[in-house]
């Protein structure tokens, strides 16, 4: 059974370049203005991945304007971790970092192990399929947690 949407949610991964931007964009597309959504990474040393942009465009999610940011930058620019109701870690490393950073806050933290599509090699089609798989894993988690999306 679908749960009530939180007021605010943070998706996190390692670089804020593939999985967490995809989750942020899809969440915004599916649930609109009903929830404040952001994403961050442990580091922000990469730009948003072109394959992530391409597979999200296939479902009407715009990622090309997303700028990656770290937990540290997020806090520096005013998005305090303590202000989020719900944090979703998408990688083992981001889960460990989120646990460390949120240990004094009252918020819900979940781990959704999303496959790393950037680890797949091969031709363009093979790589796009890997990114679609990760995108679809995110979609499945969202729908399982909060029910059918309200597509605009």
Closest by Cα among 107, 81, 60 to 12: 81
Is 39 among the domain residues?
yes
Structural domain count, the chain: 1
Q: Are 10 and 40 in contact (CB under 8 A)?
A: yes
Token code pair at residue 107: 């918020």
Q: Where are the alpha helices (DSSP H) in 11-151?
A: 19-31, 50-57, 71-76, 92-102, 124-146
Token code pair at residue 10: 């943070």
Find where tokens 């889960």 sit: 95
Is 1 among the domain residues?
no
Q: Identify the domain containing residue 125 by its residue range.
A: 8-146
Is 151 among the domain residues?
no
> pTM score > 0.75 for this model?
yes
Query: In a 10 Å sphere around its CB, with 0-12 CB exposed, 13-18 middle and 19+ buried, how is residue 93 labelled?
Result: middle
pLDDT for 152: 45
Is 34 among the domain residues?
yes
Is 84 among the domain residues?
yes
- CATH code, domain with 66: 3.40.50.2300
Give the pLDDT of the chain (152 residues) as one tens digit per residue: 678 899 999 999 999 999 999 999 999 999 987 899 999 999 988 789 999 999 999 999 999 998 899 989 988 888 888 889 999 999 999 999 988 888 878 788 999 999 999 999 999 999 999 999 999 999 999 999 998 876 54
SS3 39: strand
Is 2 among the domain residues?
no
Is 133 among the domain residues?
yes
Pairing between β-strand 36-41 and β-strand 86-89 as defined by DSSP bridges: unpaired
Q: How many CA atoms lie within 13 A of 121 on its CB side?
A: 0
């Amino acid at each position: 059974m679908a749960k009530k949407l939180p007021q605010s949610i943070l998706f996190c991964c390692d670089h804020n370049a593939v999985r967490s931007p995809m989750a942020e964009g899809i969440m915004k597309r599916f649930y609109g203005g009903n929830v404040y959504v952001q994403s961050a990474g442990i580091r922000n040393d990469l730009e948003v991945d072109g394959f992530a942009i391409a597979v999200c465009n296939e479902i009407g999610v715009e990622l090309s304007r997303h700028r990656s940011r770290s937990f540290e930058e997020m806090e520096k620019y005013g998005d305090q971790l303590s202000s989020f109701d719900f944090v979703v870690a998408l990688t083992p490393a981001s889960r460990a970092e989120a646990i460390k950073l949120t240990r004094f806050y009252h918020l819900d933290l979940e781990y959704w192990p999303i496959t790393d599509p950037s680890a797949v090699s091969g031709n363009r089609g093979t790589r796009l399929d890997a990114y679609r798989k990760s995108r679809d894993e995110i979609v499945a988690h969202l729908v399982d947690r909060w029910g059918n999306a309200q597509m605009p």
